[in-house]
Structure 1
Amino acid sequence: MIDLDWIAKPFGPGDIAGDGTKKLLGTSVATPSLLLRETAQNSWDARLVDEVPEYQMRFRRIGGEVIGVLRDHVFTGTSPSSGLAEVLRSPGVEAIEIHDRGTSGLDGPTNNDSQVDEGEPTNYRDFVLTVGAPRSRTLGGGTYGFGKAAAFRASTCGTLVIWTRILIAPGQFEERLIAAAVNPNFQLGNRRYTGQQWWGVRPQGDDSSVVQPVRGTEARAIGEAIFERTFAPGETGTSLLVLSPAYEDGRDSFIAESRAAVPINLWTKRLPNQASSRRMNISLTVDGEPIHIADSKDSRVIAAKEACLQAVRHAQAVGDGVEASAEVDPSVTVEEIWCRSPRTLVGHLAVTPCAVPPGDPFKSHENRVTLMRNQAELVVEDREYPSYRNMIGEWVGVFKPVRELDSAFSASEPPTHDSWNPNSLESAHKRLVNTGLRRIGEEVRTFLAPADAVEDEPQESASQLAAALGVLSRPVAGRSASAAPRPGRQSRDVKARTSKVEVTGYELVPQSEDGDPSTAITRITLLARSDGEYVRVTPKLDIGIDGRNSLGDPDEVYIGSWNTSEGVKYDGDGVRVRSGETFTVDVCYPDGVAIDCTFLGEDA
């Protein structure tokens, strides 16, 4: 069996320290959920045409001969900042083995500087050599390099073994194996290293950081000695071994969270009787034994979500032959989500009542709208609407944008793919995504309480604020002169209060060099006032004339961002803040108009 070469990356211009790579994903998602989401999305994107991909996560303990192979043949050296050496000295090591089959595997060139033609695969270098490389597959779900970063985050020693099998010509396959680690930067002799390391083959006569994978029979020999799931004849795909997983709350807790994360994040791939082009076979095993993953037979919440998705598919007429003939549950309400200016169909929202029985494993996941992309149909976010008056009880919903806007919603996602942030988009797409999210909230509000969507609280009209904001934008020709500010107007004239929120100030945000010159932004300072610990703040925005009369078309007035003690948030539906906290909100609107802003507050 071949011994791999250890290659550490020395610092060069513009390099990021290795442990900084793992921080790129942030910490908004718990490690079990993040690991499953990112690796499963990559597997889905790599699926082969006319095949149902297989995805499996195996929790195992390795020892004896396997540790010997890792210690003696794979990890032939390591950085002093790595915990890998200590891990390999243990008689038994925890590991997570993740594999997919029925996928393309990590094909394409194995070096980072080769030019490839448009449409040619670069999966190997995107996953192994590059952090955050976008998937070239149209409207896919993942980002290859970030899937790798999620796996590194899941390992206490930041170390993976990667084994892949690809098709290089009809009937001809190639196996590739390499190990990689991301650790804190370190120094050997007089040279500094980033902490990124690989174990593979160093090209003969080359003492640089260039590294190639082991190929062919040598790769197979090591792979079959390490991995439980090998490759059957004709199979392609990829296997990862995550060494020494970060079981912060214990192994059983990590497994339980991973098990729950499958139906939360991947339920769309497990619908019974759906077209093979939409399915993925997903499983988990613990010490060689398969474990049950809840589905629609176990949970009314999942069953209701599936009914909503089928209704949205039917409305959007994707036309794969299943949706057209599938029966739509009559309890599901489907609404078109439109932007009025410009008039554009943004997507479809399906909502349905969902009486959740005691003992439902996903009891805490009702009363949410699942947001997902049109074609990938991978869950982006389960969005809650806690401030809405609810007259029907428990419910669930599903929203998908239309295919034409899929790329706009995709572009608004952060690397973790767990939210839509319209503020990151250019003006035209920002307006469509922002309006879509706001319209979803409006339709949910109407569904829950058709006659009286939100319970009124004692409040003052914000018309004074709207008139005052007219001061901050240039007057529009033909507008009433009364829209102009009165001389000597003081800040007390712009207070808009409810029993829970007070507007204490405002300022016009200067236009940035790359900003939209037709859009003005006003930053409003708010104070949360309540005897409770938290206040939920919900905005009501419109364009006004004389600060009082609505134009009835609020699409062009939207929340850019909230800035609270917990950081910046991009949520047009509102924000939760601590009582007594002063925070700001950026309101975006067409330059030259007055706006009508009301902020509703209630204990949260």
Structure 2
Amino acid sequence: MRIFHHNQVFDPSGGFHASSAKRTMTGQSMDTWEMFTRESLQNSWDARDRVSTEDGVTFAVDYDVIEGTDLEVLRSVILGNDFTGVPALKSQVQEETVPLLTVSDTGTVGLRGPSNATSATTGHTEFTSFVRNIGRSDQKELAGGTYGFGKAVFFIASRVDTVMVYTRTSDENDQPVHRFISMALTDGYQDGSVNHTGRHWWGIESRATTGTGSVTYAEPFTGELADRCAKAMGMDRYFSEERPTGTAISVIAPDLAAPETGLRNIARSLTRWAWPHMVTTEPDLDPIEFHVNLRGSAIDIPAPQDDPALKSFMQTYARALSMQPSESEEWRESLVYRTTRVFTGRPRKKELGRLSVKTLVAPVDEKDTVVGKTIESEVALIRNPRMIVEYWKGPPDVTGEPYCGVFLADEAADRVFARSEPAAHHEWNHESIQNEKGLLEEFWGSDSRNNPVKIFFEHMRLLLKRSVRKNIGQGEDRHFAAATDIARGLGDYLANSVGGVDTRVTKPRRSSGGRGGGRKSRTVGPTTDVRLVDLRRSAGDQITAVFDVTVDAAETVYPIRLDAKPLIRTDGSDVKLEDAADAGVEFPVFESWEVTSRDSGDVPFTGSSLVLNEPAIQIRASVSQPADCAITLYVDITELAPGTGETQQ
């Protein structure tokens, strides 16, 4: 079989410089591999099989090195010996090994439709959209992308500007088909008196008639030959009976100076931008199974629930999804969480989406999260594809407290937000749509120059500047919020106030052999510091006091056990459980620990005792507070013998 290299020349009427598509993507304010991860995952999600939401999607990134007989398949079967206009590719395949970075998805529909772009069709055109065309029509269904330039990031990621594409899909007649084709985007060049666009394909030579004549071009390999090429390149590993269709794209000679470091960054990027797909929150959403591998060895993908920032984003996301319908921009819910719907207000009221916010105990430092920035007033902007567009920095809350939030675009506004994104889809920019009259008329349902994206950011800033304390409700709820503010700031002076909480908690001395420390004892060894951070009201007007527990201990001291001891506070002393029982007084009850740990292997806590094998990022203790009494909390430390859970003697 003769391999045909289609080296595209400019038509007499003009054409498209391949380098223009690459320049569009390299001009974005985002790292190449961040764009690579986002674009490839977006493509896979858009291609999911929507017939069922139970079969799921596999998304995988694999780094491999081709050598030996597999490398010979690349040289003699896939590419042949014509490298005109692609000298870097020629040099690479002459090496003893060729590295590949393959992005695979299965449980998706693959690149469907005809293999050439000449004929007009009302059916599927995913193959020609990815392999043949650059740019996209506004008439096409809007999924994640709006420009059609995103595919260029695959070529940017290659040191030789070349990728291979393998897809198991259906053709224009809805018949099963397997296809394999190679393609490159390089700088345009002159060959004698002929100008070349810099676009290349390797496949089977074919001719097609156009409206102005006939052209020669490269058709993909199909059937057994396509499968043979894919197997040699390791591009068929994720197809199965349960997920028989999909696409694999291999980047030849990926621009990774250190493959393991690069793959770990890709794994972190997946968690950073796609964590909504890593948590079970929407039952009708196709689950995605993620893989990142270095030559067959798995690279860990950070779990969002173990990330101190993403854990809070996840909680606000769940609340945004469960919001009840509303016609007003009024904050609802509790002191820690608040939700509202965002509307335009002019020229007519249109919903833009749902906003959910959580107040944080403290900012989350950049070094402690995969988000890549310190989280102190950030809102994750999310469209219907359920991937993060950006972590937008909102204004400070008037209380000075840090917060994080999630905004979910309303389905009716999704198209407007999508069109406001640049080619990398990493922000919403109202200037991008200010002159799109048709889009604005579609959104408003009438002629309007008002820009809904600009209105969105104006409303967001106003909403987020308002203190939740001024908007959570009327009557007792408002008084309860005010009492919490006072308790946080003036707890030292409220030891005997009705329903108060005393924040005067000293550092107890180290506990040895189970002996508790007294308040006036000298501090020795590891200590704790306890601070009230919240009061929560639940059903039946039950109040829960939440304390932040800080441990001051060297890492060599671990493992340790923390024992929480709630007490009733009076003017002169602390009332213990046995004394309260004798007096017939209701006593505060310890409810739970909440621990954010660097290592999920910490020994589980039992009741009011918590065992830690290493320092925790954040520790909170919740205590049920009886009505009409003030409470305080002591936390004692006991050193344990390593690996035994027994007290260190």
Judge conservation of contact 1:295–1:302 (CA < 8 Å) in 2.
no
> How many residues are aligned here?
436
1:72 to 52, 72, 76: 76
Which amino acid counterpart does residue 87 of structure 1 have in structure 2? Q
Indicate how the Cα distance of structure 1 residues 388 and 144 shifts in structure 2: closer, same or farther if over 3 A, else same: closer
Secondary structure (helix, strand or coil) at the match of 1:201 reads strand
Judge conservation of contact 2:17–2:188 (CA < 8 Å) in 1.
yes
Structure 1 regions of 5+ residues with no counterpart? 319-327, 452-604
Residue aligning to 2:16: 16
Secondary structure (helix, strand or coil) at the match of 2:180 reads strand
Residue 178 (str. 1) matches residue 181 (str. 2): yes
Residue 351 (str. 1) matches residue 350 (str. 2): no
Q: CA deviation at 1:79?
A: 2.3
Indicate how the Cα distance of structure 1 residues 64 and 330 shifts in structure 2: closer, same or farther if over 3 A, else same: farther
Residue aligning to 2:300: 292
How far apart are the structure 1 equivalents of 2:398 and 2:171? Answer: 57
Which amino acid counterpart does residue 350 of structure 1 have in structure 2? S
1:259 to 262, 267, 277: 267
Q: CA deviation at 1:306?
A: 1.3
Residue aligning to 1:59: 63
Residue aligning to 2:246: 237
Residue 310 (str. 1) matches residue 337 (str. 2): no
Judge conservation of contact 1:155–1:244 (CA < 8 Å) in 2.
yes
Q: CA deviation at 1:394?
A: 3.6
Judge conservation of contact 2:235–2:248 (CA < 8 Å) in 1.
no
Judge conservation of contact 1:265–1:378 (CA < 8 Å) in 2.
yes
Secondary structure (helix, strand or coil) at the match of 2:87 reads coil
Which amino acid counterpart does residue 6 of structure 1 have in structure 2? H
How far apart are the structure 2 equivalents of 1:317 and 1:199? Answer: 54
1:440 to 438, 452, 460: 460
Moved more, 41-50 or 375-384: 375-384
Residue 382 (str. 1) matches residue 415 (str. 2): no
Q: CA deviation at 1:178?
A: 0.3
Q: Give the RMSD, CA atoms, in angstroms.
A: 2.9
Written as runs of structure 1 = structure 2, the 5 A alignment for 1:142-153 is: 142-143=145-146, 145-153=148-156
Which amino acid counterpart does residue 8 of structure 2 have in structure 1? K
Residue aligning to 1:114: 119
Residue aligning to 1:95: 100
Judge conservation of contact 1:268–1:377 (CA < 8 Å) in 2.
yes
Indicate how the Cα distance of structure 1 residues 188 and 394 shifts in structure 2: closer, same or farther if over 3 A, else same: same
Q: CA deviation at 1:68?
A: 1.3
Secondary structure (helix, strand or coil) at the match of 2:198 reads strand
Residue aligning to 2:338: 333
String of CA shifts for 1:116-168, please: whole Å, max 9, x gaps. 12xx2100000000112269774421358433211111111110000000145
Indicate how the Cα distance of structure 1 residues 143 and 69 shifts in structure 2: closer, same or farther if over 3 A, else same: farther
The TM-score, its normalising length taken from structure 2, stands at 0.62
Judge conservation of contact 1:297–1:303 (CA < 8 Å) in 2.
yes
Secondary structure (helix, strand or coil) at the match of 1:240 reads strand
String of CA shifts for 1:11-42, please: whole Å, max 9, x gaps. 12332222222112223111111001011101
Residue aligning to 1:408: 416
Secondary structure (helix, strand or coil) at the match of 1:335 reads strand
Q: CA deviation at 1:170?
A: 11
Residue aligning to 1:141: 144
Judge conservation of contact 1:38–1:146 (CA < 8 Å) in 2.
no
Q: CA deviation at 1:389?
A: 5.9
Secondary structure (helix, strand or coil) at the match of 2:396 reads coil
Among all aligned residue pairs of Structure 1 and Structure 2, give the percentage whose two residues are the same amino acid. 23
Judge conservation of contact 1:380–1:419 (CA < 8 Å) in 2.
yes
String of CA shifts for 1:317-356, please: whole Å, max 9, x gaps. 79xxxxxxxxx99732112212222222222211102346
Q: Which has more radius of gyration?
A: 2
Q: CA deviation at 1:171?
A: 10
How far apart are the structure 2 equivalents of 1:365 and 1:54? Answer: 31
Secondary structure (helix, strand or coil) at the match of 1:127 reads helix
Which amino acid counterpart does residue 245 of structure 1 have in structure 2? P
Judge conservation of contact 1:300–1:354 (CA < 8 Å) in 2.
no
Secondary structure (helix, strand or coil) at the match of 2:219 reads coil
Secondary structure (helix, strand or coil) at the match of 2:306 reads coil
How far apart are the structure 2 equivalents of 1:132 and 1:204? Answer: 24
Residue 213 (str. 1) matches residue 213 (str. 2): no
Structure 2 regions of 5+ residues with no counterpart? 327-332, 444-449, 472-649
Residue aligning to 1:39: 40
Q: CA deviation at 1:418?
A: 1.1
Q: CA deviation at 1:86?
A: 0.9
Which amino acid counterpart does residue 255 of structure 2 have in structure 1? A
Q: CA deviation at 1:276?
A: 5.0
Residue aligning to 2:195: 192
Moved more, 275-284 or 200-209: 200-209
Secondary structure (helix, strand or coil) at the match of 2:102 reads strand
How far apart are the structure 2 equivalents of 1:104 and 1:205? Answer: 26
The TM-score, its normalising length taken from structure 1, stands at 0.67
How far apart are the structure 2 equivalents of 1:150 and 1:156? Answer: 12
